[in-house]
Amino acid sequence: MTQRTATPALPLGDDALILSHRLGEWAGNAPVLEEEVALANIALDLLGQARVLLSLAGDEDELAYLREERQFRNLQLVEQPNGDFAHTIARQLYFSTYQELLYAHLATGDGELAPLAAKAVKEVAYHRDHAEQWTLRLGDGTDESHTRMQRALDALWRFTGELFEPVEGLDTVPWPALYDRWTARITAILERATLSVPEGPQRGAWTAGGGRQGLHTEPFGRLLAEMQHLHRSHPGATW
Amino acid sequence: MVTPTALEAELLALAGSVPDPELPVLTLAELGVLRGVRLTAPDRVEVRLTPTYTGCPAIEAMSADIERVLHDHGIPEVEVRTVLSPPWTTDAITDEGRRKLTEFGIAPPRPTAPAGGPVAVDLTIRCPHCGSTDTTLLSRFSSTACKALRRCESCREPFDHFKEL
């Protein structure tokens, strides 16, 4: 099986696959039925994107189920555990804002990712809207929800620097401009939600970095074990 | 663009008459997901199909249904290809499709905003049961990726809204 590990479809497909898996972990555990359905729908959109992207890079099943941890190129942000609902919303806010800006840019080009980006950017706009609505409700809600939303935003902040490190093969993306637009959007929504933009480093040797090079955080191994277990135990299993 | 032959037009109409697996009141033609049918050899056709959402699981059932209908019509080899570009939009749903959605209890999508992204939610969405415009959003996501869940404040019935994409 030929795999094109150099294509940018691999890191972007891994982002979608791993976040989809994390969101799927909410099935049966979400705080209200509507959120159960919402998070599963968002996970399904991301899984659809992952299938298209990984198929551009090789065989989707082999890539998802038979790679080792160091071969995955996803951002460390998307592999972070769900935490409480606020952590999941903070992760969704940071990531979907980034993904929407990135896909909107890729959709305007004529690269191999353009058709998928043009299609998916409309779905991701709903994901971002969902995260923003919850950020507003939790931030500008009770003292308890405000405290927990701020805690979640602060905890995941150190994984946001990696979002803007250039991805090999995406040479036309203006990363610093993307970072500025992302920061402006996040700042605006956090201000409306009466929350503070976290302080502290977003990048550097002592913070996040390395998911794109295959360096992952400790919870990722357990995620992979669960995701790959069935396929590895029963090769070729089908429904 | 090559003009389709009479046979291709006939096969397109046949494929288009297949009901949507999730919303069987709609045909694939009314949903606007069929992009074309081309005869690539005397006994071989290629059908181009576009998904509503990238992860829509109905696409596999649609492909199988199209293959069966064309096989039954005497075409031995049918290849259904999924195409993403240009992306499907809810504007592709025909007027007849919209009428049937309402009849089925699903509020049809409004026209999309030209700039892309979700349209403003303050435009009225009419209750498919009683026709009232006094409806509120319960959840942006519902039974399938393409729908939102709303409630009518007049008749108090919940209903699905085919959300704009």
Mean pLDDT of the A132-142 span: 97
| Cβ proximity of B73 and B11 under 8 Å | yes
At A15-48, the pLDDT tens digits run: 999 999 999 999 999 999 889 999 999 999 999 9
Q: Does A66 touch chain B (CB under 8 A)?
A: no
Residue A239 lies in a domain: no
Give CA–CA dist A98/A183, Å, rounded.
10
| Cβ proximity of B47 and B15 under 8 Å | yes
pLDDT given at position A206: 58
Domain boundaries, chain B: 6-82, 94-162
Residues of B in contact with A129 (CB under 8 A): 118, 140
Mean pLDDT of the A179-206 span: 90
As a whole-number percent, the residues of chain A with pLDDT over 90 amount to: 87
Chosen for mutation from B81, B112, B139, B141 (greatest number of chain A CBs closer than 10 Å) is B141
- What is the DSSP-derived secondary structure letter of residue B124? -
Query: Which value, in Å, is the radius of gyration of the alpha carbons in chain A?
Result: 17
Distance from CA of A186 to the nearest CA of B (A): 18
Among A37, A40, A120, whose Cβ lies nearest the Cβ of B54?
A120
Hey, which residues 125-164 in chain A have their CB within 8 Å of chain B?
Answer: 125-126, 129-130, 133
Among B55, B116, B165, whose Cβ lies nearest the Cβ of A47?
B55
At A44-98, the pLDDT tens digits run: 999 999 999 999 999 999 999 999 999 999 999 999 999 999 999 999 999 999 9
A144 has pLDDT over 60 = yes
| Cβ proximity of A69 and A221 under 8 Å | yes
pLDDT given at position A202: 84
CB contact under 8 A, A118 and B54: no
CB contact under 8 A, A126 and B142: no
Residue A225 lies in a domain: yes
**Mean confidence (pLDDT) of chain A:** 93
**Structural domain count, chain A:** 1
- Reported as a pLDDT band with limits 50, 70 and 90, residue A200 is confident
pLDDT given at position B3: 76
CB contact under 8 A, A37 and B142: yes
Phi-psi region of A28 (alpha: psi -120 to 50; beta: other; left: phi over 0): left
CATH of the domain at A110: 1.20.1260.10
Give CA–CA dist A32/A34, Å, rounded.
6
pLDDT given at position A6: 80
CB contact under 8 A, B149 and A114: no
pLDDT given at position B117: 55
pLDDT given at position B107: 95
Residue A201 lies in a domain: yes
Distance from CA of A137 to the nearest CA of B (A): 14
CA A43 to chain CA centroid, nearest Å: 10
Q: Does A48 touch chain B (CB under 8 A)?
A: yes
pLDDT along chain B (165 residues), means of 10: 82 96 93 95 94 90 96 95 94 96 94 62 82 92 89 95 92
CB contact under 8 A, A125 and B84: no
Give CA–CA dist A30/B19, Å, rounded.
34
- The three-state secondary structure class of B82 is strand
Domain B6-82 has CATH 3.40.50.300: no
Chosen for mutation from B54, B85, B143 (greatest number of chain A CBs closer than 10 Å) is B54
Task: Give bridge partners of residue B106 from the DSSP assignment.
Answer: B160
A1 has pLDDT over 60 = no
As a whole-number percent, the residues of chain A with pLDDT over 70 amount to: 96
Q: How many CB pairs under 8 A join A and B?
A: 79
Report the chain B residue with the minimal C-alpha distance to residue A46: B55
Residue A100 lies in a domain: yes
Interface residues from chain B to A (CB-CB < 8 Å): 51, 53-57, 83-89, 116-118, 138-145, 149, 163, 165
Hey, which residues 190-229 in chain A have their CB within 8 Å of chain B?
Answer: none
ipTM of this model? 0.85
Report the chain A residue with the minimal C-alpha distance to residue B55: A48
| Cβ proximity of A3 and A58 under 8 Å | yes
SS3 per-residue string spanning A28-69: CCCCCHHHHHHHHHHHHHHHHHHHHHHHHHCCHHHHHHCCCH
- Reported as a pLDDT band with limits 50, 70 and 90, residue A204 is low
Q: Residue A106: which domain range? A: 9-233
Cβ atoms within 10 Å, residue A30: 17
pLDDT given at position B123: 67
Distance from CA of B83 to the nearest CA of A (A): 9
Report the chain B residue with the minimal C-alpha distance to residue A38: B141
Residue A189 lies in a domain: yes
Q: Does A115 touch chain B (CB under 8 A)?
A: yes
